[in-house]
Amino acid sequence: MEMLRTIKIKWALPRFFCCFLVPLFIGVASAEEEREPNASAASMVSPYELECAQCHDNRSTESLAPSRQALREMTAERVYHALTEGPMQVFAAHPDGVRFKEDELRAMAELVTGKPFGNMADRTASAMSNQCPGPLRLDDPFDKPSWNGWSPDPTRSYRFQSEDMAGLTATDLPGLTLKWAFAFPGAASAAWTQPTVVGGAVFIGSDNNYVYGIDAETGCVHWSYEAHGQVRTAVSIGEITEIPGVNYAAYFGDYMGYVTAVNAETGEELWSMLPDDHQAAKITGPPTLDPSPGGHLYVGVSSWEQMPGRRITYECCKFQGSLSAIDVNTGEVVWKTYTMPERPERLQRNSAGTQLYGPAGAAIWNAPTLDLKLGKVYVGAGTCYISEFFDQKVGFDAGTCVSVMAFDMESGEREWWTQLQPLDRHPGGCGVKPEEMRLNCPGYIGDPDDDPSGAPVLYTAEDGSRMIIQGQESGRITALDPDNEGSVLWVAQAGDEMAAANGGFGGAFDGDYYFKPLPYKDGTGSIAAIRAVDGSRVWHKTLEQPSDCDPGSYECSSANWSSASAVPGAVVTGSWNGVLRAYSSENGAIIWEYPTQQRYESVNGVPAFGGAIGGGSPSFVDGMMFIGSGYAILGGSPGNVLLAFGME
């Protein structure tokens, strides 16, 4: 067992650990000087206002930075960790370029949180008041109702739960009431993870770096595991046959870029590894487990390199998305393939003399989908990270950016790719200021940043014909033919206008309609139903901006930013003001809603509060519904709670 503890891939550069999802500090250090150790929180106000406020005081739906409200919910230790071991170690500097010293780092952490050091919550299960009386035993868990990973069936990725598995239909949803609330201690900004429910237990991670095994009926806690970083991915549970004493493993990824397997019954680590050694690599898409005997774990890699990429002093960009097949018992990489045909190479220098590289980007943000009939893995790849003004000059093929890609399950070979949005590129290397943009990228107009949203849906019709349905953040939806190298069948638009940038985490499909939630910049939202056979829009339900609220507050947005989940007769998604809604599959009428943005009395004795709903949406299992509330980026509000609903 000891030999399986940790598999390490060596790297030399400091890793970008997004304790806060994106860099807090914009200033780049260019000199090292000693300062007198006399910093106080008050002395860091000016550096914050000059270098940080433009991101953290910006409630724009296009800002990926946590808000000031979210920072106030964090601890000083958490901010300090981001400044010293995370991405802010690169950017934490005064306007004159001199790096923060130790006392200044601590003072900045206390300034933005409003808390002294020594306020860190104990995040372990052993510190909670509701430990389960007995150990977790998963007896034949796959013979029982379950929601395993991003979608109950990784070979379809419908995010639809049948009546037998859900124990609920549209007619039951109005009778749902809150049964228990579990609070993630030390989690301040996001309860974003799709709950996995297998064998009567909920497996879920949080932005507090921990993964928990929780009893689904009562909310008592079985175990906890401290990951390398924040955990946004859903957990996948699979049977283990080659590790003595272990029956089932729980697999997940984190924001340090690690993929980890733990004993699903005890939380004991089995192995942990890095599928990519780039300093900005992260795992945001849930790992997908092949349910076949001897099947592998398929993991896509994403990054946040586009965030420092626009800085004129940053050597943008070297990260490329990749897909890996991993041995479930050992964590060894069976194969790894990059999304781009060419590896990054030196390009020209920009106006600051910074060396630029490319091609880069095409990250895999979402879960892979498995096609067992053809032996392929389908993924959505995101935007390029280097501007067309540089990489076009050397003839790079950017066709894998913003595309659906097919890989051979056994060899990892790129089989085909279909681009959904040509020339959708992040302006890496161009600079931030207008004069920098004019020098480096004359005439550049911002691209829509319209990444694939959610895992590709693999649909088989009654006549045996098949299609892949892939939504994009804008609300654009494309159907492809998997049996004809991804040729386009139809293209649809879910809304009457383009959704906000970074808009949403994917739809749900019930076998007839593809449901796509949408957020808009003006604080309104909508959800649409698209007919699979021809791409026609069946209905479109709009949500007006709430009227009984402060227009500048978090509560004043009904934008549907989370993914969707469906049961027979209904689709459920959550909005930016924390309201969870169930819509009729037939006409979009609202049949049930619940305001999650409130305080709760938690079963584990930890202060609990809900916020915006983003990332995952409800998991339905055996008459219950599970959902996290809290998403403090893109203008959303923080929260730290997992909610469990059931029938009266």
Nearest to 320 by CA among 283, 289, 364: 364
CA separation for the pair 637, 190 (Å, rounded): 8
CB 503 within 8 A of CB 467: no
Q: Which of the 8 DSSP states describes residue 160?
A: B
The token pair at 426 is: 């992040």
SS3 state of residue 164: helix
DSSP string, 189-232: SB--PPPEEETTEEEEE-TTSEEEEEETTT--EEEEEE-SS---
Instruction: Kindly tell me the burial class for residue 374, based on how many C-beta atoms sit within 10 Å of its own C-beta (0-12, 13-18, 19 or more).
Output: middle
Nearest to 394 by CA among 346, 337, 431: 346
Fold that domain 2-113 belongs to in CATH: Cytochrome Bc1 Complex; Chain D, domain 2 (1.10.760)
CA separation for the pair 397, 387 (Å, rounded): 13
Instruction: Kindly tell me the burial class for residue 400, based on how many C-beta atoms sit within 10 Å of its own C-beta (0-12, 13-18, 19 or more).
Output: buried
Residue 122 pLDDT > 70: yes
User: Considering only 84-98, 316-330, 447-461, which range has the smallest mean pLDDT?
Assistant: 84-98
CATH 2.40.10.480 spans which residues of the chain? 277-451
pLDDT score, position 78 = 72
User: Residue written as tokens 């930075």?
Assistant: 65
Say which amino acid occupies 617. S
Q: How far is CA 284 from CA 219, 408, 647, in A?
A: 26, 22, 33
pLDDT score, position 269 = 98
Q: Which phi-psi region, left, alpha or beta, contains residue 499 (left: φ > 0; alpha: ψ -120 to 50)?
A: beta
CB 221 within 8 A of CB 604: yes
Give Rg (Cα) of the chain: 23
- pTM, two decimal places: 0.88
- The pLDDT confidence band at residue 500, using thresholds 50, 70 and 90, is confident
The token pair at 183 is: 């609070």
CATH 2.40.128.630 spans which residues of the chain? 148-198+506-613+615-648
User: Over the stretch 539-597, which tens digit does the pLDDT of each residue have?
Assistant: 999 999 888 787 766 678 999 999 999 999 999 999 999 999 999 999 999 999 999 99
Q: State what percent of residues in the chain have pLDDT above 70.
A: 85
- Write the class of the CATH domain 148-198+506-613+615-648: mainly beta
User: Considering only 68-77, 221-230, 252-261, 498-507, which range has the smallest mean pLDDT?
Assistant: 68-77
Q: How far is CA 12 from CA 15, 98, 277, 299, 302, in A?
A: 9, 23, 9, 23, 19
Does a cis peptide bond (omega within 30 degrees of 0) precede residue 359?
Answer: yes
pLDDT score, position 252 = 98
SS3 state of residue 617: coil
pLDDT score, position 648 = 81
Average pLDDT (416-423) is: 91
Residue 87 pLDDT > 80: no
- The pLDDT confidence band at residue 375, using thresholds 50, 70 and 90, is very high
pLDDT score, position 51 = 62
pLDDT averaged over the chain? 87
3-state secondary structure 432-468: CCHHHHHHHCCCCCCCCCCCEEEEEEEEECCCCCEEE
Average pLDDT (391-409) is: 84
Average pLDDT (347-362) is: 91
- The pLDDT confidence band at residue 26, using thresholds 50, 70 and 90, is very low
User: Residue written as tokens 């990270």?
Assistant: 385
User: Considering only 10-24, 137-151, 493-507, 594-608, which range has the smallest mean pLDDT?
Assistant: 10-24
Q: What is the CATH number of domain 277-451?
A: 2.40.10.480
| Torsional sign, CA 577, 578, 579, 585 | positive
For the chain, give the number of residues.
648
**CA angle, 303 as apex, 67 and 99 as ends, to 5°?**
60
Q: How far is CA 485 from CA 75, 87, 211, 214, 298, in A?
A: 50, 39, 39, 43, 21
Greater model confidence, 64 or 474: 474
Q: Which of the 8 DSSP states describes residue 521?
A: T
